[in-house]
Structure 1
Amino acid sequence: MPTTYQPGEVRRLRGPDGLPSFEADERPWSRRHVACQPVRGWLVEQVGGFSVDGLTEADVQALAAASGVPLTAEAADYRGRTPFGWVTTAHRTALAAEVDRILAARRPKRCRAGRCALCGCGRSTRWTRLRGWAWADGSRSATCEACTGLLRGVDPFDQTQVRLVALAAMAGMRWSRMLTSTAGRMRLFVEVGTADDRHAEARPWVFSREALDVLRDEAHVSNPGLVVDPIRRRLAEARLGRKYRAAEAAAPVDPLTALW
């Protein structure tokens, strides 16, 4: 069987089968078949018998730790010759159950408080209570995972900052205090959402579309350099140029201009 050896191994000490003896040397050594990959994701697939597509490296590491299933012969103290011969049905069942738990936690779900207080989306993988903002009936509001990340480090009781963050996210712009004047006219979903559509299915930033379109255009034209998307930035710069030229053409001509 082709094998690879790790540095520090004493090859001259072998067992009857010609392979290094487990008791031959006190120093640690290991050997690995050339078809095996020392990657945790590959090991989980071999032991569990399923694909790890959709799982991150962090998920795979947490999966192996939480399930308690040995992924290598060394961890299982297995001395046999059958590949993954230490794996049992119970091991595979434990791994599969842990995968189901991880994926279930990642599926977007609704919130009892209603849609996101900022963007108005109906489902998210995680919900966080938004202090300082309540629905019209006084009940608590919550934010989706994306909006919770946007508000990290922002005082939720400071309405100006919250509106500024919401405007930048809605318009696809970088956060800047130069947007403060426009942000003062921004409204969150928790302010305009009705009881009928509070628990409805919706995508982010689709409520009050006409008003949001007006604010988006205004923010883009007033600060085109903050627009993240390069195509939208160029369009905003062109519109700003046309706006300045129109203003200059409409400006009254000072009669003294031709006399001095």
Structure 2
Amino acid sequence: GPNGSGKSKVGEALRFVGAGDELKGQAVFRLEGGRVLVDRLRLLGRGSWEGGGYWSPEGSDLYLSLKDTVFTPVLQVVPPLKPYRPEGSGSLLLRLKGEGFQVEFKDFRFRLGPVAGYLPQGLLSLNGGARAEGELTLLAPFPGKARLGLEGRLEEFQISAKGVVTLPGLKEETPAEVAFRYPGYGVEIHLGEAQAQGTLFPLRLAGYGRLPLYYPRYYLQEGLLDVKSFFLYEEKGTYHLTGNAEVLRAKLALPEARAKELTQGGVDLE
């Protein structure tokens, strides 16, 4: 528009490429009286991205619909996420209105650094109150299942997950609770009697606690490890772990299958 009108319009052809996937299309934005208006957002490739509405510090009315698509090309150009080689796919519907927001997930798969998971169907909503629905399946670094929770307001909120995980080396399914806070990317983890806290971006985790162990392949039938302290951090794409621990208890024995083999072979273990 003419100078002094306080209006400007930007129309851009967009193209995102990452991990072998591509999204391309057009976005038309207007800046008007402190508002960012999205006249058009449409990207196509694997699935589709569509959106429209406006955003301002005083209030918003914005929607974004991502159907059967891949998020990887876009996620990989976000500077804080880039070192973690993020991946994502599925469907997502985002509504940002007034003081709140709502995100619906469907067949949503993600990977962020060593963490990967799947959300068949879920809902996160902050609009006066806070609500979260859905069951998260964790695939890496270890298997687990958890129910989602959410509390806070749009500018500052916490997402939590409570459930159980199956860790290699632990004797049984272990109760787990994870809380993620925004902004600041703070995270707190409780795993049985162990706990850790720190930040996700950048990754900095410190913790301590006791863990029951079970490694029959290495003759450990039962053990208890007291982790005095540990520190996990990421630097330039490499993960570092330091710490110290004490073995409080260890019961060694041959696995049952191996003991039977030796007995059948003429070795009496009794």
The structure in which a higher percent of residues are strand is: 2
TM-score bracket for the superposition, by shorter chain length: under 0.3
- More RCO (CA 8 Å, sep 6+): 1
From the CA coordinates, give the structure whose radius of gyration is larger: 1
TM-score, structure 2 normalization: 0.24
